[in-house]
Amino acid sequence: MTADHRQHYLEGVRTGLSAAVYPLYYVINLPIVAGGWVGSNFTTHQTLKAENDRLKSEHLLLRAQVQKLAGLEAENRRLRTLLEASANVSERISVADIVAVDIDPYARKLVLNKGRREGVYEGQPLIDGAGVMGQVIEVGEPSSVAILITDTGHSLPVMLNRTGLRAIAVGMGASGEMDLPYLPNSTDIKKGDVLVTSGLDGRFPPNYPAAIVTYAEKKSGQPFMQVRATPAARLEHNREVVLVWRAPPVPKSTRPEAAAAQGRTPAPVPASAPLTTNSPAPTTPPAKPAPTAIR
């Protein structure tokens, strides 16, 4: 031991013995290494799976938010269109939401979330950003029912914007079109003509876009043409509508400023004109006769 300590005589022997014993060390340490490797891989798999599940949940949440933002963007566009349309309306207006539709394919009716409490009345016109939609037919306290211009029971007085021709547009139900009956073959009307409300029914204000002529053909041997039109409003694509309160006609005024505005000179009012009151007019005692002179 002393010689090995001082002269390192047994260093080669120790090296050989270490090489011979190393496989035993490896075999003894193998279960520990294998256990650590399995544990590490198992932990990594669980971590990756948990992270994958978390990312999937976040992805679904973000997709839902994107869809909601898309819906809000579409609603924003619709409301902007309605506001642009209402800017051209001189009457009082209000936006109402559509809460239900009639499932009857031949009926075109809507349920609105505004009723008598908001001042809605029967016959009140509905419009959107493109044109006339219909009118209110039933009014409840919190809601109301409206009929569209394409309903088979609805007729709308219209006027041809190009020539001023007056006609009646009748709804055709499921087809989503309107018929213009009883137009003679000599009528000057063609595809692409714009129809506006005439205002002669007393309900719809005049000059609102109503429909666009899509078919006009003269039938030989028949006295009337066959004319079809498509509504200008997007009847099947709206979530909101605009209720219009038509302004009543302004009565003629007899005030001096109103007469001056009409170019007439008002009659002068005498300064001594008496005021009309409900109290009886005061009476004055009769004058005493003058005394007669005695000669």
Q: Compute the average pLDDT of residues 109-126.
A: 91
How many residues are there in the chain? Answer: 295
CATH architecture, domain defined by 92-245: Beta Barrel (2.40)
Tokens (6 digits) for 77: 């566009």
Residue 283 is predicted with a pLDDT of: 46
Q: Which pTM value belongs to this model?
A: 0.57
Name, of 19-23, 45-49, 212-216, 251-255, the range with top average pLDDT. Answer: 212-216
| pLDDT, average across residues 191-213 | 89
- The whole-number average pLDDT for the span 138-149 is 92
279/50: higher pLDDT? 50
Instruction: Answer yes or no: are the C-beta atoms of 116 and 92 closer than 8 Å.
Output: no
pLDDT category at 129 given cuts 50, 70, 90 is confident
| Domain ranges, ordered by start, for the chain | 12-84, 92-245
For residue 149, name the pLDDT band (cuts at 50, 70, 90): very high
- Residue 99, pLDDT > 70, answer yes
Predicted pLDDT at 284: 47
Question: What confidence tier does 6 reach under pLDDT thresholds 50, 70, 90?
Answer: low
Please list the alpha-helical segments (H only) found in 107-240.
none
Task: Give the separation between CA 246 and CA 142, rounded to whole angstroms.
Answer: 21
Per the model's pLDDT, the better-predicted residue between 264 and 240 turns out to be: 240
More confident residue, 203 or 213: 213
Q: Say whether pLDDT at 287 is over 90.
A: no
Q: From residue 175, how far is each of 105, 106, 156, 212, 293 by CA, in Å?
A: 9, 9, 17, 15, 108
